[in-house]
Amino acid sequence: MQPSHLDVLIVGAGLSGIGAAYHLQANCPNKTYAILEGRESLGGTWDLFRYPGIRSDSDMYTLGYSFRPWTNPKAIADGPEILAYLRETAEAYGIDRAIRYGHRVVRARWSSKDARWTVEACVASSGETVRLTCRFLFVCAGYFDYGEGYTPEFAGREQFRGRIVHPQQWSPDIDCDGKRIVVIGSGATAVTLVPELAKRAAHVTMLQRSPTYVVSLPESDGIADWMRKRLRIGSAYAITRWKNVLLGMAFYAYCRRFPVRAKKFLVGQVRRQLRGKVDVDPHFTPSYKPWDQRICLVPNGDLFEAIREGRASVVTDHIDAFTETGIRLRSGQTLEADLIVTATGLKLKLLGGLEVEVDGKRVDPSKTMFYKGMMWSDVPNLALALGYTNASWTLKCDLTSEYVCRLLQYMDEHGYTQCCPRKNDPSLKEEPVINFSSGYVRRSIDEWPRQGSVTPWRLYQNYALDRLLLRHARIDDRAMEFSTPNG
Ligand SMILES: Cc1cc2nc3c(=O)[nH]c(=O)nc-3n(C[C@H](O)[C@H](O)[C@H](O)COP(=O)(O)OP(=O)(O)OC[C@H]3O[C@@H](n4cnc5c(N)ncnc54)[C@H](O)[C@@H]3O)c2cc1C
């Protein structure tokens, strides 16, 4: 019989939920916990996405966990390799035994009187709703809708006689061999799909409304390989991780400080890769500054190689309408296609869609403010694992999990049962939580909690600062209110 009351309930068995469980076991071994996972398997993103070529777009030395070295020589890894790493991690620490699959959490109600959450989950196998209680709720449910991706309305869509597929719904029966394929989009998914599909298709066209910054990096990391041969695995991993963290931070800072020079550098490396086969303007020269949107990474310049060899091409234009045989563009050009892939992005979803109530009142996330980028103002005993937009997700999630453990230990030591961030600083001003101009952010940012103008309400998107804030700063700062309502 599985217990129905736990000290900590984790929602989601993806990269961050498995990491959270590890940290809890290691730092708070006396706490009971369970992971409620809506799907029938672990891995989240890396299990859901099955499109050809799916891979990381940040290096595995920082996307891997701090506590479990990534030993595969590939620094940019394929989806199945990342999924295997997550499965092995869950098994190695016995975390897999704590996962309750097919439990989609739909509601969580906090009672200050009882200092606990009542969590409702729909059980896929029976359709029943089960209720569990916990002292602390740790939501590791990612940031997007698992049900469907984002597809804009395309005029004439129903007329197209070929197949239309969103990468989130990719299935093995999709036939690409010898086909004319149009991939709509210019983000990470599009630049991954195009060279991979171009290996089998008659031709692949990447159709974009506007260009994105694309950077080519070697698939493997020579320094990491050198160190792995000479040092202990753990030491080699730790050094490589720091090297990549610092390089990533320096590159980001350079781009934000010197956007004109950074743009010249980024567009210049694409020009060299394309060797005059395609104009970088308009196809690879974005109108925005580097890091106003996420920069796309292509390993070993595979996208550029496919374009140079004529297996793939890029068209920058607007869609007028789908036709029976392809896509008509505003310029009047038509693209003939057998298969259209809408790599048009994700639908953002907060907290895995679960509704939150505090003492009978529904929480409107847009009225709250992020505390240290991982709790919400006026919502007690709840944390969220959300990663960086400008660096690997895991870097922030590891720190968040460590902080949650420190918080739980502090509460135990002082006999508190409730902790709650309060916006008690009169000088605090509200700002949007992410300053990205990407479509998927603009579409839903108004529904998200805000960030504040000062610490601890500000999101720095900076690993070094977050280490100070989450690993070393005082737990009992002025914003965090502790209490023992029923004590
Ligand atoms: C195609 C793609 C490539 C990416 N590549 C990178 C990369 O290279 N580097 C990087 O840093 N980031 C990348 N990201 C971001 C990526 O999502 C994170 O790196 C990371 O995998 C997220 O892990 P997570 O556990 O927080 O969320 P997810 O992987 O989304 O896992 C969340 C889990 O929670 C479960 N869940 C959700 N809602 C509920 C609910 N209500 N009840 C119960 N369970 C629920 C889901 O089923 C899922 O298993 C990528 C994202 C995508 C889509």
pLDDT of 437: 67
Residue bearing the CA closest to ligand 1, atom 27: 142
Q: How far apart are CA 61 and CA 76, in angstroms?
A: 9
Evaluate: CB of 82 within 6 angstroms of ligand 1. Answer: no
pTM: 0.96
- How far CA 463 is from CA of 249, 350, 485, in Å, comes to 8, 22, 35
Q: How many A from CA of 146 to the centre of ligand 1?
A: 9
Ligand 1 atom closest to the Cα of residue 49 is 1
Report whether residue 389 contacts ligand 1, using a CB cutoff of 6 Å. Answer: no
The size of the chain, in residues, is 487
The whole-number mean pLDDT for each consecutive block of 10 residues of the chain, a chain of 487 residues, reads 92 98 98 98 98 95 97 94 98 98 98 97 96 98 95 95 97 96 96 97 97 94 93 96 96 96 96 91 93 92 96 97 97 97 94 97 96 97 95 97 98 97 90 75 84 92 94 95 85
Q: What share of the chain is helix, strand, coil (3-state, %, to 5)?
A: 35, 25, 45
Please tell me the predicted confidence (pLDDT) of residue 487.
Answer: 63
Report how far Cα 325 is from the mean position of its chain's Cα atoms.
35
- Taking the C-alpha atoms of residue 33 and residue 98, their distance in angstroms, rounded to an integer, is 7
How far is the CA of 4 from the CAs of 26, 345, 383, in angstroms? 22, 37, 20
- 13 Cα to the center of ligand 1, angstroms: 9
Among the residues of 93-139, which ranges form H helices? none
476 CA distance to ligand 1 middle (Å): 31
Q: Is 60 in the pocket of ligand 1 (CB under 6 A)?
A: no
Query: Which stretches does DSSP call E strand in 254-351?
Result: 296-299, 312-316, 319-322, 326-329, 334-336, 339-342
Q: Which of 37, 40, 45, 217 to mutate to test the pocket of ligand 1 (most atoms within 8 A of CB)?
A: 45
Q: Ligand 1 pocket, 58 CB below 6 A?
A: yes
Q: How far is the CA of 44 from the centre of ligand 1 (A)?
A: 5
Cβ proximity of 215 and 321 under 8 Å: no
Give the model's pLDDT for residue 486: 67
- Asked whether 56 lines ligand 1 (CB < 6 A), one says yes
Ligand 1 touching residue 64 (CB < 6 A): no
Nearest atom of ligand 1 to the alpha carbon of 43: 49
- Ligand 1: nearest atom to the Cα of 352: 38
Ligand 1 mean position, distance from CA 386 (Å): 9
> What is residue 206's predicted lDDT score, i.e. its pLDDT?
98
Please report, as a single letter, which amino acid is at residue 484: T
| The pair of three-digit structure tokens given for residue 42, joined into one six-digit string | 């672990």
